[in-house]
């Protein structure tokens, strides 16, 4: 009994001593275990990267957080670590190949402004950003946001971390000046928080588009898909140039679509209306509007004179983006044609009928043909075969 | 004597959280704490090992449990209820895991009469977070200086018109492809969603720097499937279009 009472008294004494010591411990423990910011954890904190690609350069990191304490902020540290976001963890190794320029470009967005926040920005060890201003900004549960430009992402695929600590002082000898992982400070280190980030692989998709040219010539239809017909009859209901004072007309169409960035040129190649088979000498034809030896080619007004023979054509309706070329760009009541062998329909590549200046979807243009006989025109069937040639410039 | 030692240990535990009275911030390496108490490495189950490794300097390690019970999210009642995520697959520090399934997809030659489609996948997990967003950070497909027309609002696919767009759902047009976000292990543990604008079947959109997926709380893995469409018109410039899709996951803590 005595022994147990003694023991009981000893245990009570010991318990009291422990309580006493424990009461005194907080300040001792706070000073010796680690120096820790005195404020609170920053909330709604994030660091958004403009690129997650490994080793990407010129990347912008948007730092955003709400500092809950009521104080004047004069310094902010953002430290990037490969292994841990924990404030107070003395180990902070820069992610492999990660780099913040030693004099980084900072763009302030909200919460802090003016002073030397931007001009005094500096980084060390390729990973520790410090921004500060001796005057500071008074904040109280304020959202602070700023961009760090020119960062090189880690070459390691996966997660890494950022640590944010704010300071109420920034001069020489202060917690801010002496910042190091594990010794963030406790005198003027205020709010804090860790963030996780991640690089990631990329998806790469490749697709090819072929150079294309869609071109058709037709008399019936609206699109190349449904285009038919190649015969153009000039004359009265019977296909006869029966009136010597009448200009008989008929039409055909051409459509063009292409992704040629330099556009498409449509050329016309052939010969005059002729009573005999090719080659068709001038002596065997009705007179053409413009003698074959005349250049430059020009439009000629339609004649009602019975002694005048005429044959020609014009682009009477232009598709969007299509431009007609002389002598085929005539207005109503005029037509052109030239068989010269230099740049007319009789040349190697033909005469330019119309063109576009760039790529375009399928558009339709109309060519109007005109023929008129004279009282002296020889009887017979006059024909010609005209080719249209489209050339794209890619 | 033994009782005295137990009393001493409890007192040390209280003292080791000097700021706990005001902010209830857990000290380093403490996973859970209230104002006056803390607990670490709590596990309810049949057994397990936190760090089981094979032998050798390059051994493989894993966390293992047997019959772990009580995993998932649990909250006390009321508008200011306290919540916790139970289970060893959660973490006690801000955590973001973002995995993009790297792929090189060749769609071949595009045609004005048919739509070319492709799929890619990525997954996100974030703990101790208020959620995350996933942003698309790439320009639309390019052929030298020519950029394929990207759909600025959710639009149906139309062959013969120039379109580039994506969504993160299952589709039936222009073909059956894609998949909705998959919650791993299930929707009680994972909460990622496709963002409005990218969450409608058969409608596609692409705007650089758009958020395309998000979660509004800590979450286990959500696996997303991106559905891509490519349409060209007759005047679409010839050449090879390349799209290197950079995705950025940003956690909010």
Rounded to 10 degrees, the C-alpha dihedral B154/B159/B163/B169 comes to 40
Query: What is the pLDDT averaged over residues B181-203?
Result: 97
- Condensed to tens digits (0 to 9), the pLDDT of residues B45-77 reads 555 555 566 665 555 555 555 554 444 445 555
User: What is the structure's pLDDT at B31?
Assistant: 52
pLDDT value of position B24: 45
Q: Give chain A positions within 8 Å (CB) of B139.
A: none
Size of interface A-B (CB pairs under 8 A): 197
The terminus-to-terminus CA distance of chain B in angstroms comes to 45
Q: Do A159 and B98 touch (CB under 8 A)?
A: yes
Instruction: Give the β-pairing of B142-143 and B116-127.
Output: unpaired
pTM: 0.77
Please answer whether residues A277 and A381 qualify as being in contact, where contact means their C-beta atoms are separated by less than 8 angstroms: no
Q: Does B145 touch chain A (CB under 8 A)?
A: no
Q: B149, B208, B214, B234: best mutation site toward chain A, by most A Cβ within 10 Å?
A: B234
pLDDT tens by residue, A146-165: 999 999 999 999 999 999 99
Query: What confidence category does residue A26 fall into, taking pLDDT thresholds of 50, 70 and 90?
Result: very low
Contact partners, residue B24, CB within 8 Å, separation at least 6: B33, B34, B35
User: How many Å is the Cα radius of gyration of chain B?
Assistant: 25
Contact B200, B174 (CB under 8 A): no
b or e along B14-41 (b: 16 or more beta carbons within 10 Å of the residue's beta carbon)?
Answer: bbbbbbbeeeebbbeebeebeeeebeee
Q: Test B105 with A206 for CB contact under 8 angstroms.
A: yes
Rounded to an integer, the average pLDDT of A211-215 is 96
The answer to whether the CB atoms of B93 and A85 lie below 8 A apart is: yes
The minimal CB distance from B236 to the residues A25, A198, A209 is found for: A209
- Per-residue model confidence as pLDDT tens digits over B106-136: 999 999 999 999 999 999 999 988 999 999 9
Alpha helices in chain A (DSSP H): 2-32
Mean pLDDT of all residues in B232-240: 95
Instruction: Provide the mean pLDDT of chain A.
Output: 87
Residues of B in contact with A18 (CB under 8 A): 4, 7-8, 11
- Residue B54 CA: distances (Å) to CA of A185, B47, B60, B64: 41, 19, 5, 13
Burial of B83 by CB count in 10 Å (0-12 exposed, 13-18 middle, 19+ buried)?
A: exposed
Please name the residues between 333 and 392 in chain A that touch chain B, using a CB distance below 8 Å.
Answer: 359-362
- For strand A264-269 and strand A351-356, is the pairing parallel, antiparallel, or unpaired? antiparallel
| pLDDT in the model for residue A324 | 97
Cα dihedral A104, A108, A112, A114 sign = positive
Average pLDDT over residues A237-256: 95
B-contacting residues of A 314-333, CB under 8 Å? none
Q: In the predicted model, is pLDDT for residue B81 greater than 60?
A: no
Span of A83-87, B21-25, B215-219 with lowest mean pLDDT: B21-25
Contact state of B93 with A40 under an 8 Å Cβ cutoff: no
- State how far the Cα of A248 lies from the Cα of B187, in Å rounded to an integer: 79
B105 closest CB neighbour out of A85, A205, A361: A205
A121-126: long-range contacts, CB 8 A cutoff, minimum separation 24: A125/A94, A126/A94, A126/A98, A126/A99, A126/A100
Which of 206-245 (B) contact A at CB < 8 A?
A: 226, 228, 230, 232-245
CB B224 within 8 A of CB B172: no
| Pairing verdict, β A128-151 and A213-218 | unpaired
**And the tokens for A92?**
């902070």
Residue A177 has pLDDT above 50, yes or no: yes
Token output for A141: 């549960």
Nearest CA in chain A to B30: A86
Confidence of residue B32 (pLDDT cuts 50, 70, 90): low
Q: Chain B partners of A207 at a C-beta cutoff of 8 Å?
A: 106-110, 116, 141, 230, 240-241, 243
* Percent helix, strand and coil across chain B, each to the nearest 5: 5, 40, 50
What ranges make up the beta strands (E) of chain A?
A: 43-49, 59-81, 105-110, 122-124, 128-151, 159-167, 189-198, 203-209, 213-218, 248-258, 264-269, 300-301, 310-317, 322-324, 334-335, 351-356, 360-372, 387-392
CA distance B87 to B73: 9
Q: Judge whether residue A318 has pLDDT over 70.
A: yes
CA of B68, closest CA in chain A: separation in Å? 27
* Contact B253/A at CB under 8 A: yes
End-to-end CA distance of chain A: 110
CA distance A368 to A337: 12
Interface of B with A in 82-141 (CB under 8 A): 93-110, 116, 118, 120, 122, 126, 129-130, 135, 137, 141
The answer to whether the CB of A178 falls within 8 A of the CB of A28 is no
Chain B residues inside the 8 Å CB shell of A201:
99-102
* pLDDT interval class at A1 (50, 70, 90): very low
Measured between CA atoms, how close is A30 to chain B, in angstroms? 7
Question: By CA distance, what is A47's nearest residue in B?
Answer: B250
Residue with the bigger pLDDT between A289 and A111: it is A111
CA distance linking residue B147 with residue B114, whole number of Å: 19
> pLDDT by residue (tens digit) across A180-203?
999 999 999 999 999 999 999 999
Q: Could you give the percent of chain A with pLDDT greater than 90?
A: 75
Q: Is the peptide bond before A352 cis (omega within 30 degrees of 0)?
A: no
Q: Taking CB atoms and an 8 Å cutoff, what residues of chain A touch B253?
A: 45-46, 193-196
Q: Between residues A303 and B39, which one has the greater pLDDT?
A: A303
- The mean per-residue pLDDT over the stretch A215-244 comes to 95
Q: Is B143 on the interface with A (CB under 8 A)?
A: yes
Confidence of residue A331 (pLDDT cuts 50, 70, 90): very high
Q: Which of residues 257-316 of A touch B (CB under 8 A)?
A: 257-259, 261
Q: pLDDT for A63-121, tens place per residue?
A: 999 999 999 999 999 999 999 999 999 999 999 999 999 999 999 999 999 999 999 89
CA-based nearest residue to B228, from B180, B168, B143: B168
């Amino acid at each position: 009994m005595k022994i147990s009472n003694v023991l009981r008294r000893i245990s009570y004494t010991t318990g009291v001593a422990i309580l006493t010591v424990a009461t005194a411990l907080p300040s001792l423990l706070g000073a010796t275990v680690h120096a820790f910011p005195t404020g609170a954890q920053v909330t709604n904190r994030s660091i958004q990267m403009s690129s997650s690609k490994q080793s990407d350069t010129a990347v912008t990191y948007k730092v955003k957080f709400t500092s809950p304490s009521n104080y004047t902020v004069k310094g902010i540290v953002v430290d990037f670590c490969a292994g841990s976001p924990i404030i107070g963890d003395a180990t902070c190794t820069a992610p492999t190949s990660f780099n913040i320029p030693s004099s980084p470009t900072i763009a302030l967005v909200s919460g802090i402004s003016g002073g030397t926040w931007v001009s005094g920005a500096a980084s060390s060890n390729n990973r520790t950003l410090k921004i500060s201003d001796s005057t500071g900004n008074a904040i109280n549960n304020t959202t602070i946001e700023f961009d760090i430009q020119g960062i090189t992402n880690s070459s390691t695929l996966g997660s890494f971390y950022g640590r944010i600590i704010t300071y109420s002082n920034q001069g020489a000898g202060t917690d801010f000046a002496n910042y190091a992982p594990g010794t963030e400070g406790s005198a003027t280190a205020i709010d804090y928080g860790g963030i996780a980030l991640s690089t990631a692989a990329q998806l790469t998709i490749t697709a090819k588009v072929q150079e294309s040219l869609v071109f058709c010539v037709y008399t019936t239809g609206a699109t190349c898909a449904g285009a038919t017909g190649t015969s153009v009859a000039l004359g009265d209901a019977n296909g006869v140039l029966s009136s010597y004072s009448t200009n008989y007309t008929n039409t055909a169409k051409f459509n063009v679509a292409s992704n040629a960035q330099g556009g498409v040129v449509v050329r016309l190649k052939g010969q005059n209306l002729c009573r005999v088979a090719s080659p068709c000498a001038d002596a065997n034809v009705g007179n053409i509007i413009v003698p074959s030896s005349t250049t430059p080619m020009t439009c000629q007004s339609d004649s009602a004179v019975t002694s005048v023979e005429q044959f020609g054509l014009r682009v009477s309706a232009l598709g969007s983006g299509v431009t007609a070329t002389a002598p085929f760009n005539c207005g109503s009541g005029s037509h052109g044609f030239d068989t010269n062998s230099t740049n007319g329909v009789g040349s190697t590549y033909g005469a330019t009928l119309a063109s576009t200046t760039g790529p375009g979807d399928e558009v339709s243009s109309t060519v109007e043909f005109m023929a008129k006989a004279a009282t002296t025109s020889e009887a017979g069937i006059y024909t010609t075969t005209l080719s249209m040639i489209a050339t794209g410039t890619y | 004597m033994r009782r005295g030692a137990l009393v001493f240990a409890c007192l040390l535990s209280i003292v080791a959280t000097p700021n706990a009275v005001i902010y209830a911030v857990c000290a380093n390496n403490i996973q859970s704490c209230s104002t006056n108490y803390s607990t670490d490495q709590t596990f309810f189950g049949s057994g397990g090992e936190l760090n089981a490794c094979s032998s050798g300097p390059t051994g493989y390690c894993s966390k293992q449990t047997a019959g772990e019970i009580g995993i998932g999210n649990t909250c006390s009642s009321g508008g200011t209820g306290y919540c916790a995520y139970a289970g060893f697959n959660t973490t006690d520090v801000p955590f973001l895991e973002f995995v993009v399934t790297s792929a090189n997809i060749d769609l071949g030659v595009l045609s004005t009469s048919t739509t070319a489609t492709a799929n890619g996948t990525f997954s996100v997990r974030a703990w101790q977070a208020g959620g995350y967003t996933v942003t698309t950070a790439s320009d639309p497909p390019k052929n030298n200086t020519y950029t394929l027309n990207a759909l600025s609002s959710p639009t149906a696919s139309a062959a013969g018109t120039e379109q580039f767009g994506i969504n993160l759902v299952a589709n039936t047009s222009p073909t059956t492809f894609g998949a909705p976000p998959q919650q791993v292990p299930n929707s009680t543990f994972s909460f990622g969603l496709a963002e409005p604008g990218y969450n409608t079947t058969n409608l596609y959109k692409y705007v650089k720097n758009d958020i395309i997926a998000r979660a509004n709380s800590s979450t286990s893995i959500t696996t997303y499937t991106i559905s891509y469409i490519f349409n060209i018109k007759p005047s679409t410039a010839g050449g090879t279009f390349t799209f290197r899709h950079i995705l950025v996951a940003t956690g909010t803590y």
